[in-house]
Structure formats: structure tokens, C-alpha cells
A and B are shown apart, each in its own frame.
Chain A
Amino acid sequence: MELIDVIVLVVKILIVLHIFLIGAAYVVLLERKVSAWIQDRVGPNRVGWRGSLQSFADVLKLVLKEDIVPGHANKFFHFLAPVISIAIAISVWAVIPFCSPFTVFGVEIQPTIAPNLNIGILLLLALSSLGVYGITLAGWASNNKYSLLGGLRSSAQMISYELSMGLSLIGMMLVMGSVNITTIVAQQGGYWFGWLPKWNIFVQPVGFLIFLVAAFAETNRAPFDLAEAEPELVGGFHTEYTGLKFGLFFLAEYGNVILMSALMTTLFFGGYHLPWVEDLPFFKDHTGLLALAQFGALFVKALFWIFFFVWVRWSIPRFRYDQLMNLGWRVMFPLALLNTVITAIVLAAMKSS
């Protein structure tokens, strides 16, 4: 590994970390503003211009609060749980491509921390399947019945929906013929009939729908937020957490929302591709500008899905637990299987004809 590669890698990691941290802070603000708009309130408007610095005030408050560990809790696992949550939420970003490769000062840059990984989607599923430990351990280590119930609910929910999530992607992988995320995004750059972008949503609408619902369940967001249902469980798995540790759970939740939005964009909505515009002759000579425009496209598409997450949370009431399990195992799982089988049959028929 050359020195320049190491420098490029470190810069990429720093950029992704800052996108994650600042992004999560501003998604919190977005959630508060959108919820205020939905409920016909004003929302935070005191700190900065129209409340634009509210997130920093929130973070400062979380950092300055006293860190209380309950006397009967398992101290080590109580500390470990938020660390696991945040580590998983950050590490999955390594496989997401932000724009097409470009050249700066004669160095070709692949805008992914781990580009061309030929186990891309599997690694992503593997990492996100570890996220459940953070919540489960938090529930157990707090030694509090509400926390334990929250942790148990969430682990059962996450393993149930992980299956549908993995299966919903198999149809897409079959169509693309690859599990390499860089390839999947690159293949979505073309057009059908010369004008319709080759986005996976047009060939795998059912797969996308299942992925969307599973994404809500995996992030423990409403209407699947039974792990922290406040009327029943006080605060669920993070009842016994204060200060920065609570902040880390908070950060991981919003980080996961951004991550899932970026993933939906990357896997089903053409990723960083900016249809029609990116084929202009102007961008042929200016790859740096093209990269910026593509990053903007990814950002805007992801922002829509982030807004969707918030919108759903403040519009749809929470499921009951048996409804959640019925939906997961009796609707989503068979539907995902059916989607996989039908995709495989159609692909085989197209190949033989």
C-alpha cells in the first residue's frame, strides 16, 4: 500500500464519519421540525436561525449530563451496549459508494471506503445483523424489567425481519447478477427505451416494498418501535441510560435511519446516478464536478427517504406485538420467498427464449 493510498483512505474515513455525525444531528432537527409541522406546532426555533443550531445544543446537553450507572447493573455490558450499537451503525458505511470514480491531481479516487468488495451486500447484512446485540445487551445489563422486555422484544423483532430483508434483496441480486454494491450501482446507470432510468425499483417493486418495511423494523422506528414503547415499557431498552451513553443510542438510531435511506437509494433508486443530466457532454471533461453532482443526487434521494421515515413515524400508530410477528412471518416472509422464486423463473425464461 502506497502512502498516498493511506492518506486517501484516511480522508475518506474522516469525510464519512463527519457525514454520519453531522447528518445524524441534523436528522434529529429534521424530525423535530417535521413532527411540529405535522402536528401544527412551531418546533424548536430559539437556538440559531429558526432553530438551526438546536442539534448542537442537544448534543452539548447530552455530553454535560451526569452518567448514571444503576447500582445493580452489569457495569461492563452496560458500557459495551451503546458502543456496539454505534460501531455497527458507523461501520456499514464502508460499502456505500458516494459517486462515480474521479481523478484529483492525477490520483484516481474510488469514493467508497471498501470499493469493489465482491461480498458487498452479504457484508452489509452480516454487519447489520450484529446490531441487535447492542439493544439486547442494553436491556439485559440494565437489570430492569422494562429494559429486559424492550431488549427481548427488539431482538425477536430484528431476527424476524432480518430474514425478509435478506430475501427481499435476493431478487435484486439475481437481476443484477452480482452482490458487489459498486457493480450494482454502476449497472443502474443505463436507460430502458432510451429514457427510463435502469433503476431496480422498476424491476423489483415488491422486493423494494419488503425491504422498506423491514428497514423500519430493523431500525426500531415507528410503527415498529415496540422496543421502546413508552406507555408500556417506560423507555424500553434505554430506560437506565443517561448522558452520553443515551446519546450514543440516539445517534445510532438516527445514523441507522440515514444508512437505511442511503441503502434504499443505492440498491433500488440508482444510487448516485443523476439520470439524463450526467450524460451531458460538459461532464465528460469535468469528472470532479460530475462527482459533486452525483453526491448531491445521492444526498437528495436519501433525504427523501429520511423524510419518509419521519413522516411515517408521526402518521401511523404503533403495531401490537402479535400483529408485528404475524406481519413478519405470515405476510412479509412468504411474499419475499415468492418474489425470489418468480424473479428466478422469469430470468430463466428470458435466458432460454
Chain B
Amino acid sequence: MNIELVLFLVLGLLAVVSALMVVSRKSPIAATMFLVMHFMALGGLYLLLHAQFMAVVQVLVYAGAIMVLVVFVIMLLNLGDEQSLSEKVTKRETSGIALSMLLGGALIFAVTRAVRPHTSDAAAAALNNGTIEAVGKALFTTYVFPFEMISLVLLAAAVGAVVLTKRHLV
């Protein structure tokens, strides 16, 4: 057994278990911290795939920025009695389970159908796809239009959020 397989099994197990804990915990803070753990495990999996930039951005953006905001909001809301939240969401729960099963089926279908690059050339080329240089070049040449469009969409979302919270704009 080589070390990459061991690492993959450990990180994969960690990711699955922490994801299950996120949906099963009643305390919102505990769920959030498990989600942080899940993001870290995903970052480790990206590293195993030689996608260093993705791995570090995963930790920097999701675990380091977005989840901190989530923790912040949970603390400000001061949910208090954590048990009362979980009672009246049965309808949402069943539809959620159905949807995630559908998504899981689609993913399994796609993954089993995928063609794996068997040649060593393709594997060697894939090794360098995840460095900052490669990702940066791809983002600013081949994918520059979608990349800039996404930034516009994000700007619109940010402005929209401000407009929604401030009812009376001066």
C-alpha cells in the first residue's frame, strides 16, 4: 500500500464523516466546525491530486473567510435553545434526502462512465495543471470571459445584498 492511497483513504473518510456530522448535529456551531473540517479534508484531497492552488484557496476562502462569517452570524443571532430548530422541517428534510440521492446517483453515474487517462504522458501533463502558473494562465487566457463574467455576477450579488438589507437608501 503506497502512502498516497493511505492518505486518500484517511482524508476521504474524514471528509465523508465530517459531512455526515454537519447534517446530523443539532448545535449550529458544531455543524459549522465540522463543515470547516470537511473543507480541510477536501483541501487535502486536492493536494493529493496535485492541485496545489485549488487546495490552498479552498482553505483560504472557504475555511478561512466564508465559514468565519457563518460562525460570526450564528453568534450574533444567538440561537440559544438549539433543540427547537429541528422540529418542524420534516417536509424539507424528505425533499432534501430525495434531491441528494438524485445528485449522488448522477455523480456515481458520471464517475463510473469517466475515461481515465492511462497513458503516462497524460498523467505527467496533469501533474502541472494545478500550479498557480497553470491556473493563472488558463484563467486569464482560455477562460478569461467566464472568469470576468463571474466577477460581475458576484458584484451584482453583493450590491443586491446591500440593497435588500438597506430598505431606505438615501
List residues of A whose CB falls within 8 A of some B CB: 74, 77, 80, 118-119, 122-123, 125-127, 129-130, 132-133, 136-137, 139-140, 148, 151-152, 155-156, 158-159, 162, 179
Contacts and interface: CB of A to CB of B under 8 A. Distances in A.
Contact of B29 (A77, A130, A162): A77
A164 to B, nearest CB: 14
Nearest to A136: B71
Contacts of A159: 65, 68-69, 72
B17 interface: no
Contacts of B29: 74, 77, 137, 140
B132 A119 contact: yes
Closest 9 CB pairs of A and B: A129-B64, A126-B60, A126-B59, A122-B56, A119-B52, A119-B56, A126-B56, A155-B72, A123-B56
B44 to A, nearest CB: 12
Which of B52, B60, B65, B71 has the most chain A CB within a 10 Å cutoff? Answer: B60
Interface string B13-41: 00000000000000001100100100000
A242 to B, nearest CB: 22
Contacts of A119: 52-53, 55-56, 132
Given A159-B68, A162-B65, A151 B57 contact: no
B63 interface: yes
A125 B69 CA distance: 17
Interface in B60-106: 60, 63-65, 68-69, 71-72, 75-76
Interface of B: 29-30, 33, 36, 52-53, 55-57, 59-60, 63-65, 68-69, 71-72, 75-76, 131-132
B18 to A, nearest CB: 14
A125 B132 CA distance: 15
A133 B59 contact: no
What secondary structure prevails in chain B residues at the interface with A?
A: helix
Contacts of A129: 59-60, 63-65, 68
Given A119-B132, A155-B71, 7 more contacts: A77-B29, A77-B30, A80-B33, A132-B68, A136-B71, A137-B71, A162-B65
Contacts, number: 71
A156 B132 CA distance: 29
What secondary structure prevails in chain A residues at the interface with B?
A: helix
Nearest to A127: B59
B100 to A, nearest CB: 27
A133 B75 contact: no
B35 to A, nearest CB: 12
A324 to B, nearest CB: 16
A137 B29 CA distance: 9
Contacts of A80: 33
A159 B60 CA distance: 11
Nearest to A130: B64
Contact of A179 (B59, B68, B69, B132): B132
Contacts of A118: 52, 131-132
A155 B68 contact: yes
Contacts of A156: 72
A122 B57 contact: yes
B132 A126 contact: no
B41 to A, nearest CB: 14
Nearest to A163: B65
Contact of A148 (B59, B63, B75, B132): B75
B132 A133 contact: no
A136 B53 contact: no
Given A119-B56, A122-B57, A126-B56, A136 B72 contact: yes
Contacts of A125: 60, 64
Nearest to A1: B3
A133 B71 contact: yes
A139 B63 CA distance: 19
Nearest to B133: A118
Contacts of A158: 68
A122 B60 contact: yes
18 contacts: A77-B30, A119-B52, A119-B53, A119-B56, A122-B56, A122-B132, A125-B60, A126-B56, A129-B65, A130-B59, A133-B68, A133-B71, A137-B33, A140-B29, A140-B71, A140-B75, A148-B75, A159-B68
Contacts of B36: 133
